[in-house]
Structure 1
């Protein structure tokens, strides 16, 4: 992997490199931590020559206002900016989606799909038939053990 020197990163930060070199440097930053460190050092060194913003919040608000204006207006050469009212296609409007959902609900209701689902759900919830519970092997052994112990206690009680 080719690494770039600090001076190359400083030129990049000062915007003194060509377009192709700029793309190479930017793509290299994604893969190389060592060059990323050089880049960050160059940015911190060149930071003092960047303009200082007095009120960052108002700057951000102004930028966002201009961005929203760009979305609302279209440039025309002969006329100043005019608002553009774009209408969404019918299939992208919320009312269309509600109409489709209502139609699907009515169709499923009248076709009996919900009724069959309710019948199926009740059939799953209800037991098919109540089976007589058979004791497990362990329960049988325990029952026989208790019966044997009870008989021993009776014999002891009869001896006294």
Structure 2
């Protein structure tokens, strides 16, 4: 991660940088705590040179009034929202979908479909003729060891 120097943050605070550099610094500021510290130091050192609001309470009230006007213009009134929700047919409601899913699950469970699927899956997973032929590694080693020991006993018996 590329970090920016204190001088670059100072230029940012003084507004002595290009728009492209400003965007890069701003996007980096969201992800880097170290650079945020440099930025806050630059602001605190040059706080006196930053513009001062002459009438802070009025400024805040004006901004909040504009925000509420824009919010009201973008959002639908509450009465329209309620009527839109109540106009949905019953089959488009989420509760109806959950009820159908629960009913289908109960029907399939009590009819034995899930049990037959489980039986079919286990049959497909390992056929019977494959199970009988497969030996574990340990069983194979033991069988070979006994066969070897039997052959040694036969050889000893033949020598006598």
TM-score calculated relative to the size of structure 2: 0.44
Task: Give the structure with the higher percent helix.
Answer: 2
Greater length-normalized contact order (CA 8 Å, ≥ 6 residues apart): 2
